[in-house]
């Protein structure tokens, strides 16, 4: 009998507060996707080093070239297919570019194939889910070939980072609201409608009502953009009619992007809220040869500490591919300040903490007429939320953040030792938030989930004007830090704003004209 090897980083524990219900039905059909190693990893790493250094001579790869040179090797895919056949599993989909093979089978078949036990659990916030403990095991011929096995466990992995304007009395009494077009003007976005671009939006629940979109864009006096719904792993556009739930996130994202780039196509990738679903959604967007998004906006995430090492590595590898393809990925940094809503100290949100993402933090904005009069770190107190930011525990210091310092709220200052979050910021306080239309009702929404599509819209405008994708923008923005409005007041809990980059608002909020020049 072949020796089985624990897959590094695949260990799972029971989520705190979960109650064991019992064993999963062995006949239940589930889908699991297997991620494989990259061909020519050393050459790919060399390419990424040049991209991370901001080398102007590096051209983005085509999707065809990435698949051929740096996708999964045909022999590795064949090994997974043979393994599946030996265990009675069906191959649903194989994708060399994404380095993934999707398998279908029963709980009993997967338990036998990967030597795991699958149980049903219940959690007071996560609901009922399928979970496992310990490691996933793979045989000799897949040892070193398989990098992740995702979907055996389907516990909810992320939360949307949006907040509806609260009814309570918050720390600041100032209240205002802005349409996305008003913010684009305040932030001096260059003119344009994003014609010819596609912006991908990742959603892990809920949906949108086309009637809301039609009414909203008509109220702004802009043409409605083309919006496409893309189903990933059997999830689809399923609005519940509740603006306080995921519908609020989905609609907010589309309305912000659509207002800024009404000439663009918006592809909304709906996936299940699990590590497998989240990673597959982003992978499908990155490798989409039909819609070909040049920018991807992600408004969902969770503390780094709740991700397995295999999931972090698999997701980060997908984001590396995005950078190699010249696809910009904008991600919300979280709405719970320096703790990211996790117990015990400081945490940063993932995927915003990936060094291949433009991490988007939050500010609170005051304006008079067409000018910003005051902009500080978003921090509306424990109930009202605050912009996420801090120092990653998982990712090394990227070259473009070398030499930076992090300032604490207590006044201490020390060199930034690992990946710092966020990179940039924008209006996020619900008290100075975005006017949107959800489930037929006009409401004011904030959160860093509004900042990711705001920056995505800006970059899509810039891409359309220059006739080429800006791609991996981080090195360029850090070299041209003056392209952002430096935020020097406020804190997000443990970290304070300061001159230059800080762990509350990054480089600052956008001056769109200067960002366009920098890119």
Q: Is 11 a catalytic residue?
A: no
CA atoms lying within 13 Å on the CB side of residue 252? 37
Q: Is 249 a catalytic residue?
A: yes
Tell me the sheet residues that pair with 130.
120
The Cα 285–Cα 289 span in angstroms is 9
| H or E element at residue 100 | strand 100-106
Q: Terminal CA-to-CA distance of the chain, rounded, Å?
A: 56
383 phi/psi in degrees, rounded to 5: -80, -35
The Cα 308–Cα 6 span in angstroms is 14
**Long-range contact pairs involving 476-482 (C-beta distance under 8 Å, separation at least 24):** 476/54, 476/518, 476/519, 477/358, 477/423, 477/424, 477/507, 477/515, 477/518, 477/519, 478/400, 478/401, 478/423, 478/507, 479/54, 479/400, 479/518, 480/514, 480/517, 480/518, 481/507, 482/514
The Cα 213–Cα 2 span in angstroms is 56
Strand-pair category, 90-95 with 29-36: unpaired
| 262 CB-near residues (< 8 Å, 6+ apart) | 193, 194, 217, 222, 223, 224, 225
In the set 294, 449, 469, 494, the catalytic residue is 449
The alpha carbons of the chain give a radius of gyration, in whole angstroms, of 22
Q: Is 338 a catalytic residue?
A: no
In the set 153, 209, 212, 249, the catalytic residue is 249
Dump the DSSP string for 8-53: TT--B-PPTTEEEEEEPPTT-EEEEEEEEPPTTHHHHHHHHHHHHT
Q: Which two tokens stand for residue 406?
A: 């992090």
The Cα 146–Cα 5 span in angstroms is 11
| Helix, strand, or coil (residue 211) | helix
CA atoms lying within 13 Å on the CB side of residue 13? 7
Among the listed residues 282, 320, 223, 293, the one whose alpha carbon sits nearest the alpha carbon of residue 456:
293
Return the number of other C-beta atoms located less than 10 Å from residue 429's C-beta: 29
Q: How many residues does the chain have?
A: 519
Return the number of other C-beta atoms located less than 10 Å from residue 378's C-beta: 36
Q: Is 486 annotated as a binding residue?
A: yes
Edge-to-edge strand list for the sheet holding 176-178: 163-164, 441-446, 432-438, 176-178
Among the listed residues 488, 495, 453, the one whose alpha carbon sits nearest the alpha carbon of residue 363:
488
The Cα 97–Cα 99 span in angstroms is 5
In the set 253, 349, 380, 423, the catalytic residue is 253
Q: Is 423 annotated as a binding residue?
A: no
> Which residues are the active-site residues?
249, 253, 449
Which residues line the annotated binding site for Ca(2+)? 486-487, 500, 502
Which residues line the annotated binding site? 486-487, 500, 502
């Amino acid at each position: 009998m072949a020796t089985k090897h624990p897959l590094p980083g695949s260990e799972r524990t029971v989520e705190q507060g979960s109650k064991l219900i019992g064993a999963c039905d062995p006949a239940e059909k589930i889908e699991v996707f297997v991620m494989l190693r990259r061909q020519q990893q050393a050459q790919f790493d060399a390419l990424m080093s040049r991209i991370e250094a901001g080398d102007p001579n590096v051209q983005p790869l085509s999707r065809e070239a990435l698949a051929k040179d740096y996708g999964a090797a045909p022999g590795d895919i064949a090994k997974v297919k043979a393994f599946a056949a030996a265990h009675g599993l069906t191959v649903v989909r194989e994708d060399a570019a994404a380095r993934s093979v999707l398998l279908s089978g029963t709980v009993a078949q997967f338990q036998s194939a990967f030597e795991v036990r699958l149980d049903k659990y219940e959690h007071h916030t996560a609901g009922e889910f399928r979970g496992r403990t310990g490691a996933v095991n793979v045989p000799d011929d897949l040892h070193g070939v398989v990098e992740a096995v995702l979907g055996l466990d389907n516990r909810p992995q992320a939360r949307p980072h949006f907040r509806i304007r609260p009814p309570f009395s918050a720390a600041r009494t100032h209240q205002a609201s802005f349409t996305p077009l008003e913010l684009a003007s305040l932030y001096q976005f260059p003119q344009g409608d994003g014609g010819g671009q596609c912006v991908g939006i990742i959603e892990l629940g809920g949906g949108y009502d086309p009637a809301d979109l039609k009414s909203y864009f008509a109220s702004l006096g802009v043409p409605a953009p083309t919006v496409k719904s893309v189903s990933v792993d059997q999830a689809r556009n399923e609005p519940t009619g509740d603006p306080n739930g995921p519908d609020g996130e989905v609609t907010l994202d589309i309305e912000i992007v659509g207002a800024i780039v009404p000439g663009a196509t918006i592809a909304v990738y709906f996936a299940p809220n699990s590590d497998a679903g989240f990673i597959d959604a982003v992978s499908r967007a990155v490798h989409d040869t039909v819609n070909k998004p040049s920018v991807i906006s992600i408004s969902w995430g969770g503390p780094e500490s709740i991700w397995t090492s295999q999931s972090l590595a698999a997701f980060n590898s997908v984001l590396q591919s995005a950078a190699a393809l010249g696809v910009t990925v904008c991600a919300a940094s979280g709405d719970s300040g320096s703790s990211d809503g996790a117990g015990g100290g400081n945490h940063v949100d993932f995927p915003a903490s990936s060094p291949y993402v433009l991490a988007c933090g939050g500010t609170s904005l005051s304006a008079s007429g067409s000018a910003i009069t005051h902009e500080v770190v978003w921090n509306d107190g424990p109930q009202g939320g605050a912009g996420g930011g801090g120092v990653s525990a998982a990712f090394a210091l990227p070259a473009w953040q070398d030499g930076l310092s992090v300032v604490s709220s207590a006044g201490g200052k020390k060199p930034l030792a690992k990946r710092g979050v966020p990179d940039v910021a924008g209006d996020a306080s619900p008290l100075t938030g975005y006017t949107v239309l959800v489930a037929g009702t006009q409401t004011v929404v904030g959160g860093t989930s509004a900042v990711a599509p705001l920056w995505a819209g800006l970059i899509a405008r810039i891409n359309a004007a220059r006739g080429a994708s800006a791609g991996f923008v981080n090195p360029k923005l850090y070299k041209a830090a003056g392209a952002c409005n430096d935020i020097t007041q406020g804190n997000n809990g443990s970290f304070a704003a300061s001159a230059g980059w800080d762990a509350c608002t990054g480089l600052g909020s956008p001056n769109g004209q200067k960002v366009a020049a920098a890119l």
